[in-house]
């Protein structure tokens, strides 16, 4: 279990993490979602004791991580896969980490097998692709067979195969009863991976909810209808007490299904050219929620955002 209590981090004038409180439970993948610069990495660094909180505290299994007696048996973390000395071999890197916690040498071979890297164990890390580095980072995290796994943007920059591998890995380990806490700036990725969501923006907690509830609450519904008889249809909605708004060449209807709109038009002998349910995507819901808390806005006017899944890339 991971717990944040009023966690706050200031860098000079800038508040990176602002009074954040949440609990991450075992048995499910918990997604830590927020736009770039929302404070996800800083929060994770504070959980691991790498950064000192300005206020509040982060607890791992009920105590600050720095007081862990066998740190690697409690938490396995992967913050940035490229944070390794490229001059070492994968085997030497893992061996030094295992030794630091008095873990048996055979764990090195076991985790190398776990991530399928036995063949490259004696290669120097600087020649590794990002995907291989991610696997090495996961191998390092698994050395102590820890109860808690924490990954910062693990699918960033990976090819689809790598993304699928990590997603399945996290789901399997959560199903095995581990606490899995994974950050991402992509709602679409979290919708596929996580069961629970902690959403932050500008360091503040925006939501702490199950993915199912998040989808139910944030997928704005509504129906759009296009007709050559706009005024007649508007009057018909007025009489039915339904509020409509103009969106481009459509009327946007709230509180009615497509069936009901069709029936209402038929009853009033109004021609309909187009009628469809409007469902904003999860990604749009996420962006809507964090709109005020995004660090840097791109100037996109009223254009719908590009499919963020197509923008998988570095956040560092």
Q: Which residues bind another protein (CB under 8 A)?
A: 45, 48-52, 65-68, 71-72, 75, 77, 79-80, 82-89, 92-93, 95-97, 99-102, 140
- Cβ distance to another protein smaller for residue 109 or 195: 109
Tell the smallest beta-carbon distance from residue 310 to another protein (Å).
28
Residues 6 or more apart from 14 whose CB is under 8 A from it? none
In the numeric block, the tokens 């004038």 are attached to 13
- Cβ distance to another protein smaller for residue 82 or 234: 82
Q: Is the C-alpha dihedral spanning 83, 87, 90, 95 positive or negative?
A: negative
Q: Which run of H or E residues covers position 179? A: strand 179-184
- Cβ distance to another protein smaller for residue 67 or 118: 67
CB 262 within 8 A of CB 275: yes
- Cβ distance to another protein smaller for residue 86 or 228: 86
Tell the smallest beta-carbon distance from residue 68 to another protein (Å).
7
Pick the closest to residue 56 from 8, 108, 3 (CA basis).
8
How many residues does the structure list for the chain?
A: 316
- Cβ distance to another protein smaller for residue 63 or 168: 63
Tell the smallest beta-carbon distance from residue 194 to another protein (Å).
23
Calpha distance 74→65 (Å, rounded): 9
Strands 250-253 and 244-247: antiparallel
- Cβ distance to another protein smaller for residue 82 or 226: 82
Six token digits for residue 109: 């071979």
CB 56 within 8 A of CB 210: no
Radius of gyration of the chain (CA): 24
- Cβ distance to another protein smaller for residue 137 or 201: 137
For 295, phi then psi, to 5°, come to -65, -55
Six token digits for residue 123: 């290669």
Tell the smallest beta-carbon distance from residue 46 to another protein (Å).
9
- Cβ distance to another protein smaller for residue 97 or 282: 97
Tell the smallest beta-carbon distance from residue 177 to another protein (Å).
22
Tell the smallest beta-carbon distance from residue 128 to another protein (Å).
13
Calpha distance 86→91 (Å, rounded): 12
Tell the smallest beta-carbon distance from residue 67 to another protein (Å).
8
- Cβ distance to another protein smaller for residue 168 or 316: 316
Tell the smallest beta-carbon distance from residue 72 to another protein (Å).
6
Q: What share of the chain is helix, strand, coil (3-state, %, to 5)?
A: 40, 25, 35
Q: Is the C-alpha dihedral spanning 262, 265, 271, 275 positive or negative?
A: negative
Tell the smallest beta-carbon distance from residue 84 to another protein (Å).
6
Six token digits for residue 174: 């959560």
Calpha distance 142→45 (Å, rounded): 18
């Amino acid at each position: 279990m991971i717990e944040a209590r009023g966690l706050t981090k200031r860098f000079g004038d800038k508040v990176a993490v602002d009074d954040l409180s949440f609990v991450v439970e075992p048995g499910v993948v918990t997604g830590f979602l927020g736009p770039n610069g929302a404070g996800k990495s800083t929060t994770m660094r504070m959980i691991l004791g790498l950064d000192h909180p300005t206020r509040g505290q982060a607890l791992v299994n009920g105590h600050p991580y720095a007081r862990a007696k066998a740190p690697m048996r409690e938490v396995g973390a992967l913050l940035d896969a490229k944070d390794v000395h490229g001059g070492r071999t994968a085997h030497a890197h893992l061996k030094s980490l295992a030794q630091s916690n008095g873990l048996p040498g055979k764990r090195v071979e076991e985790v190398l097998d776990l991530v399928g890297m036995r063949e490259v164990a004696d290669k120097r890390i600087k020649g590794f692709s990002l995907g291989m580095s991610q696997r090495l980072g996961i191998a390092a995290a698994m050395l102590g067979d820890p109860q808690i796994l924490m990954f910062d943007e693990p699918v960033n920059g990976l090819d689809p195969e790598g993304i699928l591998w990590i997603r399945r890995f996290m789901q399997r380990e959560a199903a095995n009863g581990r606490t899995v806490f994974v950050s991402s700036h992509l709602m679409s990725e979290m919708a596929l991976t996580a069961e629970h969501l902690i959403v932050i923006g500008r360091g503040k907690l925006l939501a702490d909810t199950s993915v199912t509830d998040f989808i139910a609450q944030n997928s704005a519904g509504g129906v759009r209808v296009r007709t050559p008889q706009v005024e007649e249809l508007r009057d018909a909605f007025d009489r039915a007490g339904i509020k409509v708004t103009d969106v481009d060449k459509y009327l946007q209807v709230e509180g009615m299904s497509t069936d009901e709109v069709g029936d209402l038009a038929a009853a009033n002998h109004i021609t309909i050219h187009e009628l469809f349910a409007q469902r904003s995507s999860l990604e749009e819901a996420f962006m809507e929620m964090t709109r005020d808390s995004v660090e840097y806005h791109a100037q996109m006017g009223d254009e719908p955002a590009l499919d963020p899944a197509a923008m998988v890339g570095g956040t560092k």
